[in-house]
Chain A
Amino acid sequence: QSALTQPASVSGSPGQSITISCTGTSSDVGTYNYVSWYQHHPGKVPKLMIYEVTGRPSGVSNRFSGSKSGNTASLTISGLQAEDEADYYCSSYTSRSTVIFGGGTKLTVL
């Protein structure tokens, strides 16, 4: 099963909004509302930002939101801040009862 497809990089200025896409297939993202997003700063441990497409864990800023349409899930970050600069990964449950990750997107805050 191939990895979910994410853009390699996105960028935005402080205060702006950006959206990161995550494209899968009908065997994963398209069928199941079990998509999670993680933020990963180099040298640190990944942090769960979104679960089950739209859920936000306690302590995660409401500037982060998730959505899904068809085979594509999206992570939107509004009011960009310098601290948001990191790698972001999506992941999904699959029809084989496994979990698959995306290749990752590097967010640069200009």
Chain B
Amino acid sequence: QVQLVQSGAEMKKPGSSVKVSCRASGGTFSTYTVSWVRQAPGQGPEWMGRIIPFLGMANYPQRFQGRVTITADKSPRTTTVYMDVSGLRSDDTAVYYCARERKGGSYYYGMDVWGQGTTVTVSS
């Protein structure tokens, strides 16, 4: 059973960037859709974008376009997906999760495997 292992907690200054990684352990997710979801304290989850590593193409909601970049290793056994967030603000403080959907494809099949979460704190 594949597990998703994320990089550790980050403390960042406003205006800086952060890059969070998500590594597949015990399997690969190259043909699955992998999303990034964040949850700020006291708020609901927010979808930040997704990628199918095999295809290498990502898509984002409008509010994050230009500020969020999702990439993946392009090796045949793709095991790591990355999310880069630039221009950090205090309201970007949240727990960031990567999550694998049940299958790859154009629609939305439900995220059945989640990383452990990475806390990103933005403060001056």
Report A's interface with B, CB cutoff 8 A: 1, 3, 32, 34, 36, 38, 45-48, 50-52, 55, 57, 89, 91-93, 96-104
Contact = CB atoms under 8 A, between A and B. Distances in A.
B10 interface: no
B108 A34 contact: yes
Interface in B40-97: 43-47, 50, 59-62, 97
A17 B62 CA distance: 38
A52 B45 contact: no
23 contacts: A1-B61, A3-B44, A34-B107, A34-B108, A34-B109, A36-B108, A38-B111, A45-B115, A46-B45, A48-B102, A48-B112, A51-B112, A52-B109, A52-B110, A91-B108, A93-B108, A96-B62, A98-B60, A99-B50, A99-B108, A102-B44, A103-B44, A104-B45
B59 A97 contact: yes
Max count, chain B CB within 10 A of own CB: residue among A32, A92, A97: A97
Given A1-B62, A36-B110, 19 more contacts: A34-B107, A34-B109, A45-B97, A45-B115, A46-B99, A47-B114, A48-B112, A52-B109, A52-B110, A57-B112, A89-B44, A91-B45, A91-B108, A92-B108, A96-B62, A99-B35, A99-B47, A101-B37, A103-B44
Contact of A51 (B59, B109, B114): B109
The contact size tier of chain B is: 20 to 34
Contact of B44 (A48, A50, A104): A104
B46 A101 contact: yes
A11 B92 CA distance: 31
B106 interface: yes
B116 A51 contact: no
